[in-house]
Amino acid sequence: MKIKVALLSAGLGNVSRGFETSAATWFEYLHGANLIDCRLFAGGQYKNAVRIPNISRNSTLANILKRLQLIKDGCRLEQLTFSLSFLIYMIGFKPDILWVQEATLAQMALKFKKIFRFSYKIVFCDGAPVGHQFAKQFDHIVFLEKFAAQKALNDGVPTEKISVIPYICLTPKTFIEKKDARALFGLPENDFVIICVAAWNTHHKRIDYLLNEIALLGQDDVTLLLCGQPEAETVMLKDLAKQLGIKTKWVTLPPSELTKAYFAADIFVLPSLKEGLGAVLIEAGFHKLPVLCHPYDSALYIFGEEYDGLTDLSIKGNLAKKIEAFRKTDLTIKGNEVAVHINNTFNPDMLTQKFISMAEQVYNS
């Protein structure tokens, strides 16, 4: 008998970020596996997913409730309504394991388990991350990198309750010549193109820092390609780019189109100071791009302490200096070195097998 695994994502189909699409990527690799019966449940319309009715975080009703100050967070409303609707599907599917990474949704699943005496196990993937103090209430915790897992172990969380399984990340299915990829996005063929794949905000992804660092370069042949989702701060960020006089291209792309954007670039930058994993760092590596980012735990886990693309991005001017230094090197060689390391460490087939082994362990515990 196959182990029934339900992958839950209230946000999938409502927003398009790595956090949500990770569930869809897992399903892509798991749904044909011999040992598990895997189903994908999403809050919005998404290919091969069962759509669960909910009040989306960006819906008119959610926005009205926020303006009336009846709710603070549309994400919580989305997860609460998703969890209530999912009860019907849970009774029909009778999953052995729920895989979830949204905190409110996970808490609701735990409440339902206690109230209705469901027998499913809850695997909480700490992708945000929210930390092990919250996550340890569930049957099993999946961390995306080893440093977070070690902190949990140091605090007494049992070894058998912990797995380290990074997301499966976007890999190129076909190769596109750089000039052809640039033509698709209207990018100058001979410019130095820097790509950043991140939500367009200041509080986490620090796109304002990135824009100011590009301006510090003072180079007319640099174009910044920003692939992401608009947020409340986006209008201000676009105004800032104009004030600084830098060349930018802002695009929102589905995962199937994102690979083309990677092929259009010379180098990848992520300006945030903290990430649960930073799956886009791995994606960039798969596309043979040199990567520049802050040396937070997940970046050290992905690239290793000796990688020279890590630099303290809390300091003004550091990113500009690192870009200038990398531009003087052979970026093709650097990109190939990154790709070899990423392919050896984050091979999708290897990670799929780790997920299946984790599911078997949880099911039998």
- pLDDT tens across 33-87, in order? 888 999 999 999 999 999 999 999 988 988 888 888 888 888 999 999 999 999 9
Q: For residue 317, give the DSSP letter.
A: T
Amino acid at 156: G
Answer whether 314's CB lies under 8 Å from 293's CB. Answer: no
Are 158 and 226 in the same domain?
no
pLDDT > 70: percent of the chain: 100
Question: What's the rounded Cα separation, in Å, for the pair 173 and 231?
Answer: 30
Are 340 and 352 in the same domain?
no
* Residues of the domain holding 280: 178-345
Q: How many Cβ atoms sit within 10 Å of the Cβ of residue 94? A: 12
Confidence band, pLDDT 50/70/90 cuts, at residue 349: very high
Note the pLDDT of residue 288: 97
Which of the residue ranges 142-151, 273-282, 313-322 has the most confident prediction, judged by mean pLDDT?
Answer: 313-322
Element (H, E) at 226: strand 222-227
CA 321 to chain centre: 27
Are 196 and 163 in the same domain?
no
Note the pLDDT of residue 65: 87
Task: Report the candidate in 362, 338, 305, 9 with the shortest Cα–Cα distance to residue 167.
Answer: 9
Note the pLDDT of residue 176: 93
Are 36 and 159 in the same domain?
yes
Question: What's the rounded Cα separation, in Å, for the pair 323 and 288?
Answer: 16
Burial of 242 (0-12, 13-18, 19+ CB in 10 A): exposed
Are 150 and 194 in the same domain?
no
Tokens standing for residue 315: 């300091």
pTM of the model: 0.82
Are 77 and 132 in the same domain?
yes
- Summarised one tens digit per residue, pLDDT across range 79-100 is 999 999 999 998 889 999 999 9
Residue 113 has pLDDT above 90, yes or no: yes
Q: Note whether residue 284 is domain-resident.
A: yes
Main-chain dihedrals φ then ψ at residue 41, nearest 5 degrees: -120, 120
Q: Pinpoint the alpha helices (H) of the chain.
A: 18-30, 60-67, 74-93, 103-116, 132-135, 146-154, 178-185, 207-217, 234-244, 255-264, 279-286, 297-303, 318-327, 331-345, 348-364
Q: Note whether residue 173 is domain-resident.
A: no
Q: Note whether residue 99 is domain-resident.
A: yes
Question: What's the rounded Cα separation, in Å, for the pair 54 and 210?
Answer: 35
Residue 164 has pLDDT above 90, yes or no: yes
Q: Note whether residue 263 is domain-resident.
A: yes
Are 238 and 319 in the same domain?
yes
Are 189 and 251 in the same domain?
yes
Burial of 306 (0-12, 13-18, 19+ CB in 10 A): exposed
More confident residue, 170 or 278: 278
Note the pLDDT of residue 297: 92
Instruction: Find the length of the chain.
Output: 365
Mean pLDDT (the chain) is: 94
Residue 251 has pLDDT above 80, yes or no: yes
Are 338 and 313 in the same domain?
yes
Domain count, the chain: 2
CATH of the domain at 255: 3.40.50.2000
Residue 17 has pLDDT above 80, yes or no: no
Angle in degrees, 0-180, between the axes of helices 331-345 and 279-286, rounded to the nearest 10: 120
Amino acid at 281: L
Those residues whose C-beta lies under 8 Å from the C-beta of residue 95, and which sit 6 or more positions away, are 4, 5, 6, 39, 120
Are 353 and 285 in the same domain?
no
Are 186 and 146 in the same domain?
no
Q: Note whether residue 241 is domain-resident.
A: yes
Confidence band, pLDDT 50/70/90 cuts, at residue 171: confident
Residue 195 has pLDDT above 90, yes or no: yes
342-360 mean pLDDT: 95
231-259 mean pLDDT: 94
More confident residue, 128 or 336: 336
Residue 256 has pLDDT above 90, yes or no: no
pLDDT > 90: percent of the chain: 84
